[in-house]
Chain A
């Protein structure tokens, strides 16, 4: 039995577990996506952001 079939049987078959999986997936996806986007933004703008210069003033 492949992992995918097991997943289908255990998680996706029942509505309750399916939506629970969707909610949990959303949470982890959002966190990962957010962190990755911010990291990309900060690497593009390295040296220009407040967090890059604030050590001079604290």
Chain B
């Protein structure tokens, strides 16, 4: 590219910043008078030389490596993963599946009830505070009542003693065990994981949770379970220290929904999805906004491209032979 052409580009860029404001007003008339065609041709046409050898080599290497890595990642993601012994959780029709679908808040509320009545005996939920429930599953009054039911360890007071007090909205949900060692000691050495982020932390997410909670069965012949272990085909290795906890009527719903085992599992899985991604609803709304905004911007960009190219697309090149006479 020649020097004058580079200069033209630079000045064109400067000019186009001003022109973008002015251009909206003047429209196509702007292009007629200012002799913009020449630098534009210079900018938009590819050189007669094409790419240099080095450039070609470099770009093709980038292309090959990039697409290779992409293909590898895709293949790894798509693989059947049949090397493990665990069963893969079948996909369930979650009501929050889809680009625009929010969580079912009635289900999240029921899931909280299941957590409170069943899961909380062993599993902590340490990153969820009672205030998080407000306007998601509970009204402020209800959330305050939920918090007040729990005894929170606080302190030290003026005399240096720790004490227990009823919870407040700002408190996090109390854990069933003071620490991991206590949890292990109470559960045959197995640590019941914290459930705050479990839905994002396990492959399969809520499908896995649902399958695990409803998938308990007798161990097939040849599988040896140790004392206190149970067989669950969806758990990696099959031997899980958690016993089946969700049976029909294992928990009670305040809204009168029949508490079948699968209903309990579905609701608690939805609840745990909310725990992992409290921003899910906002993200779905943001998807709608982003699609709306970007489609408008795409229309503008399309018009702008046509506008800028119009001179080039409609040009006529006339060659006037200079007569020698």
Partners in one complex: yes
Question: Which chain A residues have a beta carbon within 8 Å of chain B's beta carbons?
Answer: 8, 12-13, 15, 18, 33-34, 36-38, 40-41, 44-45, 48-50, 52-54, 56-58
Beta-carbon contact of B104 and A48 below 8 Å: yes
Chain B residues near A8: list those with CB within 8 A. Answer: 25
For residues 263 through 285 of chain B, which have their beta carbon under 8 Å from a beta carbon of chain A? Answer: 281, 284-285
Beta-carbon contact of A54 and B25 below 8 Å: no
Closest 4 CB pairs of A and B: A45-B102, A48-B104, A50-B105, A12-B25
Beta-carbon contact of A37 and B139 below 8 Å: no
Please report the C-alpha to C-alpha distance between residue A41 and residue B155 in the assembled complex, in whole angstroms.
45
Contact of A37 with B25 at beta-carbon distance under 8 Å, contacts A45-B102, A48-B95, A50-B135 already known: no
Please report the C-alpha to C-alpha distance between residue A18 and residue B23 in the assembled complex, in whole angstroms.
13
Partner of A50, one of B101, B136, B284, B285: B136
Chain B residues near A18: list those with CB within 8 A. Answer: 21, 25
Chain A min CB distance to B95 (Å)? 6
Beta-carbon contact of A50 and B21 below 8 Å: no
* Cβ-based interface call for B137 (8 A): yes
In the complex, residue of chain B having the shortest beta-carbon distance to the beta carbon of A45: B102
State the total of A-B contacts with C-beta under 8 angstroms.
56
Chain B residues near A58: list those with CB within 8 A. Answer: 139
Beta-carbon contact of B102 and A56 below 8 Å: no
Chain B residues near A37: list those with CB within 8 A. Answer: 285, 288-289, 292
Main secondary structure of the interface of A (DSSP, over half): helix
Chain A min CB distance to B7 (Å)? 27
What 0/1 pattern do residues 74 to 118 of B give for CB contact below 8 A with A? 000000000000000000000100001111111001000000000
* Cβ-based interface call for B168 (8 A): no
Partner of A48, one of B102, B136, B289, B293: B102
Chain B interface residue bracket vs A: 20 to 34
Chain B residues near A56: list those with CB within 8 A. Answer: 255
* Cβ-based interface call for B154 (8 A): no
Beta-carbon contact of A49 and B142 below 8 Å: no
Please report the C-alpha to C-alpha distance between residue A49 and residue B102 in the assembled complex, in whole angstroms.
7
Beta-carbon contact of B105 and A49 below 8 Å: yes
Contact of A41 with B21 at beta-carbon distance under 8 Å, contacts A48-B95, A48-B104 already known: no
Beta-carbon contact of A41 and B100 below 8 Å: yes
Please report the C-alpha to C-alpha distance between residue A37 and residue B287 in the assembled complex, in whole angstroms.
10
* Cβ-based interface call for B3 (8 A): no
Chain A residues near B106: list those with CB within 8 A. Answer: 48, 53
Question: Max chain A CB contacts within 10 Å: which of B24, B288, B293?
Answer: B288
* Cβ-based interface call for B138 (8 A): yes
